[in-house]
Structure 1
Amino acid sequence: MTTAHGGELLTARPYRSGDEAAVLELINHDRVPGQPRCTKGMLTEALAGRAAVDAGWWTRQPSTDVLVDETGRPAGVVSYVITRYDDTGLLLWLHGRERPHVVRALVDRAFDRFGRRSRLAAFTVRSPLVLGLEGLPVRHRAATHHALIRSGFTGQDLWRYMRRGLTDISPAAYPVATITPSPDIPGWRLRIRDHNGTTAAEAAVGAPIDGIAVLWWIAVHPADSSDTLGRTLLDQALAHLAAQGAREVILFVDDNAPGGDRDRAVANRLYDTAGFVEVDRLYSYMRTF
């Protein structure tokens, strides 16, 4: 496929091993705050379709295509796959330096490859290219957001993405949580128990990658307890991560969910008062015909 966009002639073709350096440049150009630089190993995992959680949704390796300019240099890259359960065309990730005509061409390329499927999705899977991001950061990736909306997708606001530096964190003066290796992620589980030995609060944190750690979740039991216990646990988690060499920590709050057990107002207040700042909102996208 050869198209002219914005006065620039772009040709689509499958990704080749010789594209690696240029594609890494494209990915890292679009990197948002709180994210490590994408490495060759991370790109290899993404090209193979080895998503951390959702790779079971497909059986074949994703297709990855590049758009090259008239000199043959990649100007954009897009990866997509067909899911095994419901035949959904799934756009996994794309990068084009947020140049509107390039990202529009990348979306169009994936559309062409999806054919006449009745259900399409985009940015619903956590990619190996990033740390924890499950969705598109819409403020930092506005051109991609607008290209998807222009193509008939509906965006869903799912997560509040936050970060906090750890250079001002001191060791916990009175550590009250036990810290053990996590059974399911590279990282640790922190628990505070009451006088009966019952878990009163717990949290899961990831080991730092390039100096960046993830607070995956924090829970206080019962959920309507005061903020004090949650703040005590959070402070010790931050102190532990700083001691492990983390320079900053990121987290994700599902604060667009309905009330009840998933009401995240308490979590937002906890993180705001602990010095976390919002980086972006994470969206996923769907289109049905």
Structure 2
Amino acid sequence: MAITTPRSATQLSVRPYAPGDEPAVLDLVGADRLPGQPLTTPAMLAEALAGRSPIDTDWWAELEPPTTEVIHDEAGRVLGVVSYAKRPSDSAGFILWLHCREEQALAEALIARALDRLGERTAHAFEFASALTLGLEGLPARHRPATAKALHSAGFTGRDLWRYMRNSLPFSGLPHAAHVRVDEGEDPPGKRLEVREGGELLAEATIGCPVAGLGVLWWISVAPPARGQGLGLALLGTALDLLTRLGAREAILYVDDDAPPGDTERDRTAANRLYDRAGFTEVDRLHSFTRRP
């Protein structure tokens, strides 16, 4: 295919990913790395190529083996990569991940290639967290505006779903919860913290095992009868202290604050207020995309 890039008018071609492309693809992924995210390793890339991920495991298990392709110039230099797959249960297609140093013409070409190979069907993009990142379940739209624009140009509609936040560790100044029970967690691997009174669960939190000095707060909640007493902030302080002891130098978290007005069960106003008060800063908003035939 011939497309024009900001670099120059050049002839570009698409071919299947090959093992020798690993260094170039890792560089492409690294160019899009966000604060609070680890460098993608060859092992992480291998998992993504195989269609596996430690996060959203069940969703990935529903997909056919993914196809990964690279776009390269006449000199053979890899300029972009895209991975896509189909889901047999509903015949939907998925653009799983895509990297091209935010050159919009390349993003458009890779998206067009994936859509052509997926065929006429409902297609989703950046719907699941891949093994390339530590839980990024969506496209960070502010950091990757060219990819977002290319998706919209291809007929996708975006959904603003997640708030991605980070904080440095150790973090002082937060209270700590009393009588916290800590157990091993399996999905994802890490620790589960519980505060109980008389056998009744008052609050809980889940943290991930640190990766390259990065720890994730996956979940924190307080039962309705125990809210408004500072327990959430205290449990957050305990969780961050535990992440520090486990070797984390940074903490990240995700807030799914896309609940429609009036949905009190999924309202995350209190959670956002809690994390802002604790000093977490927003890195980006995570978007997923859908294109109907």
Matching residue within 178, 189, 207 for 2:192: 189
Which residue of structure 2 lines up, in the alignment, with residue 71 of structure 1?
Answer: 75
| 2:12 match: secondary structure | strand
- In structure 2, relative to structure 1, the CA distance for the partners of 1:168 and 1:125 (3 Å cut) is closer
Residue 106 of structure 1 aligns to which amino acid in structure 2? Answer: L
1:115 matches 2:114: no
SS at match of 2:212: coil
Other-structure match for 2:50: 48
Q: Residue 235 of structure 2 corresponds to which residue in structure 1? A: 233
Offset of residue 182 of structure 1: 1.2
Paired position in structure 2 for 1:39: 41
Identify the residue that residue 4 of structure 1 maps to in structure 2: 3
Q: Does 1:180 align with 2:183?
A: yes
RMSD between aligned residues: 1.6
Query: What does residue 149 of structure 1 align with?
Result: 152
| Partner amino acid, structure 2, of 1:233 | L
Deviation larger for 262-271 or 183-192: 183-192
Q: Could you tell me which amino acid in structure 1 is paired with residue 157 of structure 2?
A: T
Q: Deviations over 1:24-78 (max 9, x none)?
A: 00001111111100000000000011133212222x3100000011210110000
**Alpha-carbon distance between aligned partners in 1 of 2:77 and 2:152, rounded to the nearest angstrom:** 28
Report if the CA contact (8 A) 2:203-2:231 is conserved: yes
Matched with 1:222 is: 224
How far 1:256 moved relative to its partner?
Answer: 1.6
Partner of 1:128: 131
* 2:61 maps to amino acid: G
Contact 1:170–1:239, Cα closer than 8 Å, also in 2 = no
The number of residues matched between the two structures is: 285
Deviation at residue 227 of structure 1 after TM alignment: 5.2
Which residue of the partner structure matches residue 280 of structure 2?
A: 276
Would the alpha carbon gap of residues 262 and 13 (structure 1) be closer, same or farther in structure 2, given more than 3 Å must change?
same
Secondary structure in 2 aligned to 1:252?
A: strand
Question: What's the TM-score, normalizing by structure 2?
Answer: 0.93
CA apart distance, 1:172: 7.4
From the superposition, tell whether residues 227 and 148 of structure 1 become closer, same or farther in structure 2 (CA, over 3 Å): farther
- The match for 1:106 among 83, 105, 110 is 110
Q: Deviations over 1:87-111 (max 9, x none)?
A: 1111000000111111111111112
User: Percent same amino acid among aligned pairs?
Assistant: 49
1:235-250 matched pairs, under 5 angstroms: 235-250=237-252
| Counterparts of 1:216 and 1:202, CA distance in 2 | 11
Cα distance change on mapping 1:142 and 1:179 into 2, 3 Å: same
TM-score normalised by length of structure 1: 0.94
Closer, same or farther in 2 for the Cα pair 1:171/1:211, shift >3 Å? farther
Note if contact 2:174-2:278 (Cα within 8 Å) is conserved in structure 1. no
Q: Secondary structure at the match of 1:278?
A: strand
> Which range is displaced more, 179-188 or 268-277?
179-188
One-letter amino acid matched to 1:229: L
Q: Which moved more, 1:31-40 or 1:99-108?
A: 99-108
Question: What is the identity, as a one-letter code, of the residue corresponding to 2:73?
Answer: D
Paired amino acid for 2:156: F
Q: Which is further off, 180-189 or 93-102?
A: 180-189
